[in-house]
Amino acid sequence: MSDDLLGTIRREIDDRLSELRPAVAEYQRLLEAAGDGASRDGRERPATRAVRGGSPRRKGTRGRAGSPARRRGPRSAGEVAVIAALEHGSHTVSELVVVTALSAANVRESLRRLTRSGAVTKAVRDGRPAYALSATSG
């Protein structure tokens, strides 16, 4: 039975990935056209725009209204896989390892980053930590 469930989940993930590939390609073309620093192959290009004041921002400087100036890069493949799995409901780390085919260390690191960014929340289910998409992620 678990093989049937895993096969079904894997097919759903594969179908969803096939569905999203054109959107990802379009997103990369738009980033490239906007000159946002990322090329189509995902490698960073050197920044060509000058930062106000002529010098790069230093770590710890603040943006408008005293909020921290924090820019996050694109999500890693592990984070994307974890989010895709969590779209179907909450999961423990061991369940995410099976569903995503990532190592436990990669799943934990992705969950740590996603929890810190607020995209994922941590709860307890049957005495074990379980993770779910937060209500504010989107």
**pLDDT tens digits for range 51-71:** 444 444 445 544 455 555 455
The CB density around residue 2, as the number of other CB atoms within 10 Å, is 7
- The DSSP code for 89 is S
> Model pTM?
0.47
pLDDT band at 78 (very low <50, low <70, confident <90, very high): confident
Dist CA 81 CA 10 (whole Å): 11
Give the number of C-alpha atoms closer than 13 A to the C-alpha of residue 108, restricted to the C-beta side: 5
Query: Chain-wide mean pLDDT for the chain?
Result: 76
Residue 111 has pLDDT above 90, yes or no: yes
Mean pLDDT is lowest, of 44-53, 75-84, 108-117, 129-138, for 44-53
- The DSSP code for 68 is B
